[in-house]
Amino acid sequence: MGLSLALNTARSSLQASSAQMAVVSRNNAGATDPNYSRKIAALVTAGGAARVSVSRASDAALFYKMLGTTSSAATQQAVLEGFEKLKYTVGDTELNQSAAARVGALNSALSQYANKPDDPILGRAVVERAGELATMLNEATASIQKVRVEADTEISKSVVRVNDLLRQFEVANNAVIKGTTAGVDISDALDTRDRILAQISEEMGVTVSTRENNDVAIYTDSGVTLFEKTPRTVSFSPTSTYAPGTTGGAVYVDGVQVTGQGPMPLHSGRLVGLVTVRDQIAVTYQGQLDVIAAALIDVFAEVDQSPPPLNANATGLFTYPGGPALPSGPALVGLAGEIRTNSLIDPSKGGNLDFLRDGGANGPDYDYNPGAAGTNAAFSGRLFELSTKFGADRAFDPALGLGAPTNLQGFSAFSASWLEAGRKSASTEVDYGVTLLSHASEALSNATGVNMDEETALMLQIEKSYSASAKLLSVIDEMFRTLLSAVR
């Protein structure tokens, strides 16, 4: 009985050492996988025999911290990408392609023409600068709407990804529950579940609740259920075409609106950043360009010169499809995409350049030049009046970011600086978020990752134990041979 017991003990030890070596080999193979957690082979004695119970290294607090920093970093990254796209509407400031630069060029050309009103070349220069400014505003509007379309498309892709990840999570979670109930090794299934959870956190902020049998429920960071036994449906209706004033669709989780003005909006994640770009940043920037366009139309508007004035102000050098009435109310939305030079004044469109100097594009009641139309070629009164209006302070909507009154040139410069300041702020936030995520990931890796030096040292210890068990088996075998020889 003594030799039999020794034999069983040696065999059990040998099997345990083999199982431990297998776990160490798994750790070595997963050392380069950031989603792999170190597996721990613990020896358990039952009925006089040793067996190996496999668990994994984990740190729930660090893991949840990493999920939060992942969501925050994804939010700022999406915002930064939106600003990076919008900044191209400003163009190269050194080449004077921004709205501020073109407004300045127009003001300079107008001043030169006012000082020499009988020079048609200077008059044409004013119209040309006006045309360049209108084209820039048109193209910027198209670019802004393209950015909104791209953000909307990315929102749709993000929703599809979340739904797919939730389905994968259901499979992984069921495997964990079944494995826990059966008492088998679930460490790899737990790694898979955590990996999927980390990917979901990139798209939206999440919180996690662990329940009986290692079951997990997932909620958005605003409290809406994403997964509980089964995945909830995340839905979104994309908008294929955007124009100024278009309202993009909201994202819903199980019928609850989680973006926009919903009751339980998401706080972080790529979806939040994309919706911010589409519905806030781009819309505010479009509004800034629209009020620049409205101010340009107002500056160059013609005023009835009849005593007393009987007609409303009408569009002059700048107009839009709703002219000659000046834009107001709903007409201001998207005005930057519709502004253009007046065909009655622009010589390249068959217009009369004298209307710029004298007025009268909207009829004789709007003629500023006394006497017979066009006879006083040195008339500069209207041009100086336009130049004065150009430099006068005006109130702009505080919702567009600038509360204090300023002139057209100042607001145009503010718009460009607002865009650049937003981009720099987002870039700083991204750098901070990436650093924070790096620290969180490093801390989690230190706590749960594989250390190759430790695994090598552990392998050497297991090999020694294996060799000792093998040697014990050899000794027992020799003792059995001796015993059997004595019996014979």
* Per-residue pLDDT tens over the stretch 247-305: 999 999 999 999 988 889 999 999 999 999 999 999 999 999 999 999 999 999 999 98
> DSSP class of residue 98?
S
> DSSP class of residue 116?
S
Residues 449-464: b if buried by 16+ CB within 10 A, e if exposed: bbeeeebeebbeebee
Relative orientation angle of helices 120-182 and 282-299, to the nearest 10 degrees? 170
Check if the beta carbon of residue 151 is closer than 8 Å to that of residue 83: no
Q: Is the entire prediction scored with pTM above 0.75?
A: yes
**Count of all residues that appear for the chain in the document:** 488
**Distance (Å, whole) CA 423 – CA 87:** 8
Q: Where are the beta strands (DSSP E) in 212-371?
A: 216-220, 225-228, 230-231, 234-236, 251-253, 256-257, 318-319, 340-341
**Distance (Å, whole) CA 182 – CA 171:** 17
What are 39-48's contacts with CB under 8 Å, separation 24+?
39/187, 43/16, 48/5, 48/8, 48/9
- Which regions in the chain score pLDDT beneath 70? 1-27, 29-31, 33, 39-55, 91-97, 371-375, 449-484, 487-488
Tell me the pairing of strands 318-319 and 340-341. Answer: antiparallel
The model's pLDDT over 92-108, given as tens digits with 9 standing for 90+, comes to 555 566 788 889 899 99
Q: Specify the pLDDT at position 1.
A: 44
- Please report where in the chains the tokens 């107002």 appear, as a residue: 298
CA dihedral 216, 32, 26, 439 (to 10 degrees): -50
Q: State the chain's maximal CA–CA distance in angstroms.
A: 145
